[in-house]
Amino acid sequence: MSDRPKRTHLDQLVGAEGAGARRAARMEVLAALLWIPAAALLAMAIDGLVFATSGADDLPFYLAGFLAIALLRGLLVMQATRLADRSSLRVQGRLRDALASALARQSPFDTGRVATGQAAATLTDHVAALGPWLTRYQPSRLKVMLVPAIIALAVLPVSWAASIALLLAGPLIPIFMALIGQRVRIASERQLSELGTMNAYLLDRLQGLTTIRLLGAGGQALARLEQAAQALRIGTMRVLRLAFLSSAVLELFAAVGVALVAVYVGFSLLGYLQFGAYDAPLTLAEGLFILLLAPDFFLPMREFAASYHDRATAEAAGKAIAGILESDRPALLGEGAAAVPLNGPARIRLTGARFGYDGTRPVLAGLDLDIPSGEKLALVGPSGSGKSTILALIAGLLRADAGSVEVAGQALTDETADGWRARLAWVGQRPYFLHGSLRRNLTLGHPDRALGEIADALQLASAESVVARLPRGDATLLGEAGQGISGGEGQRLAVARAALRGADIILADEPTAHLDAETAQAVADGLFRLAEGRTLILATHDEALAARCDRIVRLHP
Ligand SMILES: Nc1ncnc2c1ncn2[C@@H]1O[C@H](COP(=O)(O)OP(=O)(O)OP(=O)(O)O)[C@@H](O)[C@H]1O
């Protein structure tokens, strides 16, 4: 029970944007209660029609009153639906923004960060699961708390027996719902988590499809996927079974309740039952009034039961959303968002910088490094000595455990990191290209770059031939993760992309690794042309490349 989110947890997630949905819920309650005067007017109208007891003169008044109330109810429900939908969309939009920001704050160096498929499931399905909770569950909860009690009260002055029959049948439903509610919640949570797991697994295996094929591990991957799909199917069927079971039992209780009242009213009108009303036996108008209200006494409970699993689903989804929003996993410095470039000279100083990934074994144990503006510095050292880690610390993608990182004359903090990164360009071992045109990939984050600027950047990186070779030049669509260009071509394009970024500090992490000598030379030439008049920090194993820098810092594991 302790891991059960409090109701306030979902309310907190929904926040101020949920106010519209709450107002809509109150409007729906009002619309439901308007059925009481409408039923009274209709009963008197029918009574008047059948027996002419109320006088023919009043008939148009009753009918007009009934129609006016029915119209008002319709308008109220319509307005409430619109309000609730709008509020729900606003809540979902804000949560997706907040999730996207939280995901952007995750450090790319955190191996335990949310899996891509899981994040995608949370951004889409989990957030969407809050919609029915807001627009269906919330109004039905308010209605179930107020409407049956008020209807029973309205029936009381007409017949205490009918009122008691309703009050006796009513509570059976909430008791039953409470009994199965816990099981529904557990089943929903399990089903949502299975959905996330399957998404994450599928995405991961799709990304590694070539590797899986080459290793002949397709059958194994397929079997695991089948397992995950089976688990999801069983989970979904479990939720559906419980949902059907609860609604079937509920319908039974509601039908028995209405039948009980109908039998009482019927026998009273026929004169077989002489109790339950106050002075005289029930009149036709009174009997009809009770009969018209009886189904509406149970209606809120049926609606509540139908939307009950919305709450369970929303709670499970809320947990997944809160898990990302309130994650205490290592985050990068700042927001990971676009920002105005930080002012100041491009000097970088690390003083006594300590860092360890797992908090115990330090990768950097008190590193001092002073890189003046415009210097070309090579970080050389064996694999695992911490070269990439230093670049990540300088880019604010990791936080130093101790010591300080100073950039542009200021401490690198959450406040300065985004502005600092706006001045950086990163050329990694395997540059990432998105699914989209090559031009879009080159001008990522700077869509306003002119054609001339793109041409200059391609020339600087010796990448014109790469573009010329493509069937539609820079309008060619690249596949997911940059399919369609080779590793060496991608590396040259990455240098061109860095040039288009207009950055004055270039961080390069093994930019020539895995390339043949000729391509490595072309990439290195491009990189050094780009670094002219800029600061370059280059992590490499390649001594020849390092020798082209102004200074070499050697690291030891
Ligand atoms: N995201 C990570 N999570 C946990 N440990 C990591 C992570 N990245 C690197 N490490 C560990 O930190 C140490 C330093 O890694 P780093 O990548 O900085 O070294 P490197 O000098 O750049 O190596 P290479 O030359 O092979 O790229 C290594 O022992 C590595 O296993």
CA atoms of 368 and 339, how far apart (whole Å): 28
H or E segment and range at residue 59: helix 59-105
* Residue 470, token pair as written in the block: 């493509």
538 C-alpha to center of ligand 1: Å? 16
Q: Is the CB of 111 under 6 A from ligand 1?
A: yes
Among 358, 385, 427, 430, the mutation site with the greatest number of ligand 1 atoms within 8 A of its Cβ is 385
* Ligand 1 atom closest to 541 (CA): 25
Quick one: 391 exposed, middle or buried, by C-beta within 10 A (0-12, 13-18, 19+)? buried
Q: Residue 482 gets which letter from DSSP?
A: G
Parallel/antiparallel/unpaired status of strands 535-540 and 505-509:
parallel
400/385 Cα distance (integer angstroms): 16
For residue 64, give both structure tokens: 């007009």
How many other β-carbons are positioned within 10 Å of the β-carbon of residue 311? 24
Q: Which residues make Cβ contacts (< 8 Å) with residue 324, sequence separation at least 6?
A: 99, 102, 103, 114, 119, 122
Q: Dig out the tokens for 130 from the structure.
A: 């809050």
**3-class secondary structure, 539:** strand
Residue 389 CA, ligand 1 centroid: distance in Å: 6
367 lines ligand 1 (CB under 6 A): no
- Best residue for ligand 1 mutational test, from 357, 358, 364 (most atoms within 8 Å of Cβ): 357
CA dist., res. 67 & res. 457, Å (int):
73
Q: Is the CB of 381 under 6 A from ligand 1?
A: yes
Ligand 1 pocket residue status of 267, Cβ below 6 Å: no
**In 307-375, where does DSSP find H-type helix?**
308-325
| Rounded Cα distance, 18 and 137, in Å | 13
What are the start-end ranges of the H helices in 208-307?
209-214, 218-270, 284-306
Q: By C-alpha distance, which of 115, 33, 39 is closest to 73?
A: 33
Contact assessment for residue 346 and residue 505, using Cβ atoms and an 8 Å cutoff:
yes
Cα-trace Rg, the chain: 34
Residue 386 CA, ligand 1 centroid: distance in Å:
6
Residues 6+ apart with CB under 8 A from 11: 18
Among candidate residues 322, 317, 314, 399, the one with its CA nearest the CA of residue 102: 322
At 84, the amino acid letter reads: A
Ligand 1 proximity of 528 Cβ (cutoff 6 Å): no
Residue 363, ligand 1, Cβ within 6 A: yes
DSSP state string for 229-257 = HHHHHHHHHHHHHHHHHHHHHHHHHHHHH
Cα 239 to ligand 1 centroid, rounded to whole Å: 44
**CA gap 508, 427 in Å, rounded:** 5
Exposed / middle / buried, residue 471 (Cβ in 10 Å: 0-12, 13-18, 19+): exposed
Helix 308-325 vs helix 59-105: angle between axes, to the nearest 10 degrees? Answer: 30
Per-residue pLDDT, 75: 96
Q: Which protein residue has the closest C-alpha to ligand 1 atom 13? A: 384
List the residue whose alpha carbon is closest to atom 6 of ligand 1: 357
Supply φ then ψ for residue 157, to 5 degrees.
-65, -20
CA dihedral defined by 458, 464, 470, 474, rounded to 10 degrees?
Answer: 30
CA atoms within 13 A on the CB side of 535: 21
Structure tokens at 177: 């719902």
Say if CB 155 and CB 43 are below 8 A apart: no
245 contact partners, CB below 8 Å, separation of at least 6: 180
- Does residue 429's CB lie within 6 angstroms of at least one atom of ligand 1? no
Regarding the beta carbon of 109 and ligand 1, being less than 6 Å apart is answered: yes
Closest-CA residue, ligand 1 atom 29, reads: 384
Q: Which value, to the nearest 10 degrees, does the dihedral of the CA atoms of residues 270, 271, 272, 278 take?
A: 120
- Residue-level pLDDT at 357: 87
Whose Cα sits closest to atom 8 in ligand 1? 109
Beta strand residue intervals within 434-504, DSSP E? 436-437, 477-478
Domains (ranges, CATH) in the chain?
A: 13-325 (1.20.1560.10), 348-554 (3.40.50.300)
Ligand 1 atom at minimum distance from 390 CA: 18
Give yes or no for residue 386 CB within 6 A of ligand 1: yes
Q: In angstroms, what is the span from residue 388 Cα to ligand 1's centroid?
A: 7
> Which neighbouring-strand residues pair with 551?
377
> Nearest residue CA, atom 31 of ligand 1?
384
Q: Indicate left, alpha or beta for 124 from its phi (over 0: left) and psi (-120 to 50: alpha).
A: alpha
pLDDT in the model for residue 250? 77
Structural tokens at position 389: 């880690």
Going by their DSSP bridges, the two strands 402-407 and 410-411 should be labelled as antiparallel
Report which ligand 1 atom has the smallest distance to the Cα of 539. Answer: 22
Residue nearest to atom 2 of ligand 1 (CA): 109
Reading the chain (557 residues) residue by residue, the pLDDT tens digits are 344 444 557 888 888 788 899 999 999 999 999 999 999 999 988 887 777 655 567 788 889 999 999 999 999 999 999 999 999 999 999 999 999 999 999 888 888 888 888 898 899 999 999 999 999 999 999 999 999 999 999 999 888 888 888 888 777 776 776 677 677 777 777 887 888 788 788 888 887 877 888 777 788 888 888 888 888 888 888 888 887 777 787 788 888 888 888 988 888 888 777 776 666 677 888 889 999 999 999 898 888 877 877 887 888 889 889 999 988 887 899 988 888 999 999 999 999 999 998 767 788 988 999 999 999 999 999 988 899 999 999 999 999 999 999 999 999 999 999 999 999 999 988 888 888 888 888 888 778 888 888 889 888 888 888 888 888 888 888 877 667 788 888 888 888 999 898 889 999 999 888 778 888 888 899 999 999 999 999 999 989 899 999 999 998 76
**Per-residue pLDDT at 279:** 64
Q: Is 535 in the pocket of ligand 1 (CB under 6 A)?
A: no
Q: Is the CB of 118 under 6 A from ligand 1?
A: no
What CA–CA distance (Å, rounded) separates 453 from 213? 41
319: which 2 tokens? 């947990």
Of 456, 380, 315, nearest in space to 11 by CA: 315
pTM: predicted TM-score of the whole model, two decimal places: 0.75
Place of tokens 């390649």: 542
Mutate to test the pocket of ligand 1, among 111, 363, 426, 556 (most ligand atoms within 8 A of CB): 363
Judge if the beta carbon of residue 8 lies within 6 A of ligand 1: no
- What is the maximum span of the chain, computed from C-alpha positions, in angstroms? 110
3 state SS of 447: coil
389 lines ligand 1 (CB under 6 A): yes
Contact indicator for 50, 284 with CB cutoff of 8 Å: yes
CB-side neighbour CA atoms (13 Å) of 455: 3
Q: Give, for ligand 1, the residue of 358, 388, 545 to mutate: max count of ligand atoms closer than 8 Å to Cβ.
A: 388
Nearest CA to ligand 1 atom 26: 383
